[in-house]
Amino acid sequence: MVTQAVLFDTFGTVVDWRSGVSRDVQTFASRRGLTLDPDQFALDWRARYQPAMEQVRSGSRAFEPLDRLHLENLRAVLEAHQVPAGSVSEADLAWLNGCWHRLEAWPDSVVGLTALRERTIVGALSNAGVSMLVRMAKFAGLPWDVVVGSDLSRAYKPDPRAYRFAAVLLDLEPSEVLMCAAHNSDLVAAREVGFRTAFVPRSLEYGPGQDRDLAPEADWDFVARDLVDLASQLAP
């Protein structure tokens, strides 16, 4: 079947979350005279991402939007870095939590998405919510046709419902959808529901010491250097 839509994981695949979070943590710390390691803070915050969503996926808690999970995790990380969350105003917490809306795209992302958009639907299929994805797109200049947030499907990837919901929303068969991600686990789940798959490595997503997702771990339909290369491979 011809690919009718290419859907993308966002955090790490399309945008550089680590640098964006670290940037705003540094600003936050400087304004308040705090001594924080912004890169480590970003990594520690991100480390709570999957465990928080797993509580929802497992059914041990009701669905909560990612912004709310991020805020809960932020309070915990502040405490772990010896900054009592109670010492930070709600306005400051909201500003710092909003860093996930203010992430820069990888250098190839906008060019690659623009090229792909000339011949197919391009969209975000993300664990972020719609409002976060829209603000992220405005900040980074991402030319999405559609954003499919977790608050629409009420499911966090790799829950199969997240992928199936996206195909139904676009009125497409799963085999007409290509999922692109820098994370092998995302592609495993997408393939299981019938999506085609594309792996794009982001070897600096977690910094120079990254030890995961450095290479494809299965025979994905496409393996590309970056999104520009993926657009070239999908060209007629």
Domains recognised in the chain with CATH numbers: 5-16+103-234 (3.40.50.1000), 18-101 (1.10.150.240)
- The residue ranking higher by pLDDT, 21 or 34, is 21
* Tokens encoding 75: 């309070």
CA atoms within 13 A on the CB side of 137: 23
Q: What per-residue confidence (pLDDT) applies to 86? A: 83
Q: Is the pLDDT of residue 128 over 90?
A: yes
Nearest by Cα to 137 from 47, 15, 236:
15
Q: Look over the chain and give the mean of its residue pLDDT values, rounded to a whole number.
A: 97
What percentage of the chain exceeds 70 in pLDDT?
100
The residue assigned the tokens 């789940």 is 189
Q: What per-residue confidence (pLDDT) applies to 84? A: 86
Give the whole-angstrom CA distance, residue 229 versus residue 223: 9
Cβ neighbours for 98, distance < 8 A, ≥ 6 positions apart: none
**What number of other Cβ atoms are within 10 A of residue 115's Cβ?**
18
Q: What per-residue confidence (pLDDT) applies to 9? A: 98
